[in-house]
Structure 1
Amino acid sequence: MPTLLLEPEVDELRNRAKRSRRNEWLLAAALLAPNLALLAIFTYRPLLDNFRLSFFSWNISSPNSTFIGLDNYIEFFTRPDTAQVVSNTVIFTVFAVIGSMFFGLLLAMLLDQKLLGRNFVRSMVFAPFVISGAAIGVAFQFVFDPNFGLIQDLLGRLGLDSPQFYQDPNWALFMVTFTFVWKNLGYSFVIYLAALQGLNRDLAEAAAMDGAGSWTRFWRVTLPQLRPTTFFLSITVTLNSVQVFDIIHTMTRGGPLGDGTTTLVYQVYTETFTNYRAGYGATVATVLFLILLAITVIQVRYMDRENKQK
């Protein structure tokens, strides 16, 4: 027969449960407090301060600033170079994200096979990701230089002229995009490789037994299982590519012809530290933050909708 608890015993159990929950909350607060404090000091406070600064005119070398309201934002949306800078940012980001993820997945699928020396090749693919972007930029200057670069030498052997990577804005943007993809390819590669090794192999084997070809198995079995990984990479690679500075600064300094490869992040640098207009630089940074926030929210809402439909 079940044991009947007396009222005092029931109250004691309830009190123990409350104390246990309270202790768990206190432990969670103790563990989270240092991280939340660091986020507040080094992330949220600078973010709010940057937003405040965007309403001021401030020469970074001066201790004084002047409140000008929305003048910086009006200037940003009416300046003739804004369209070029935004276009550079969009083109660079789109091709950098697609290139990094597409070739990262291809290499991950290739090196997921049992091949001779695959561990060494995996290390070589990932190695550029941990190298400084400035060092990569300097190295690739010897690749793209139209006078003595590697591409010039290879095309010269074929009787062809090298593109003017440092004179033509379109070729210059291609140059920095290619360099960024080459450097950051290892990141997408490692994430996709880990995801491939965690897939349910039984589904692919069952599809093969049903007569599905390689492309069908990839499209119908492998790719749907990689959707969470693709979603994660789409956010992280986008954030990483939009914030690129070192490669552009090393290879082109935002040129040629003024703004040939200038992105929003690089414009923040030039306006703040070259033109000494910290207020306008803060405005560009705020606009970029709002764009990234909107993209992230759209991606998260899309992924949530996909998960609810399953």
Structure 2
Amino acid sequence: MRRPAKFLAALAAFAIVAGPMLAEARPGGGGSSGSRGSRTYSAPAPTQTAPGGAQRFDRTATQPGSPATAAPRPGALPGAAPQRGFFGSFGGALLAGGLIGGLLGYGLFGGGAGFGAFLGMLLQIALIGVVVMLVMRFFRRRQQPAVAGGPQPHAFQGQPGAKQFGAAGGLKGAAPAAPPVTLTPADYQAFERTLVEMNAAWSKRDLAALRAVATPEMVSYFAQDLQDLDARGWRNETRDVRLEQGDLSEAWHEDGEDYATVAMRFSLLDATFDTATNKVVEGSTTERQTATELWTFVRKAPGGRWMLSAIQQTQMA
């Protein structure tokens, strides 16, 4: 019984540890993080670039009903965010449920008899978590259209820069109407420039440069994601970032600040390297990948610099 038990334990440990590795390693981790002021818990309006809208936030410091930013947890490293991974959400719930079932004498194998059965139960829970992550990643890849041709020099060129954009009418769960915000071509150029500068700072692991383009909350998430990569002995680099298409979801004013949420489809070279061997463990240095996300920017009105305050993944239309 000891050998099968040790084997199952090793497989379970590997599956649990491998779970977080399936997440996207590029900036934002392929999840939805940040805050959109009072609209953090409201869905952004769909756009031509992101007709399915955005996913809910996996990580946010904004409490429901309050746009205020929560303070960092006691003892946290400067710029660090709450840990994410297999134990943080779906996998954690599965594991907790399985442990409770095992303690009560039940489990996914039905009998729950003996230590080997209990380890087998843990293994199956871990494998289910890995399968779920793979399925989620598969559908996320499918909803990202392939890049057709070269980059568009003016991906936001269809936006009427001088038009006023207010709250999207008829949005279910949308925040009350706010004063309109006037966006100009220079604003859209700033959004595209931030996309490039943020990825460059991420690849250099330059937190100071990230602070120049993103809010403290977003920088804290980037810092935690970089720490997670360090823990695995990995580093991620994104290169040659090109905005292929972008459009405005909504823009509004609140509490002395302007907000704008824009949908952006961009392509890039995204590769994760083993730090010790410098070999690519995920992604590619030659094959371009495409992502579609909704980015929210905030600025101190009027005339302040736009800062990245949220990244949200898109829903399937």
TM value normalised by structure 2 = 0.25
**Computing the radius of gyration over CA atoms, which structure comes out larger, 1 or 2?**
1
Name the structure where helix makes up a greater proportion of residues. Answer: 1
TM value normalised by structure 1 = 0.26
Name the structure where strand makes up a greater proportion of residues. Answer: 2
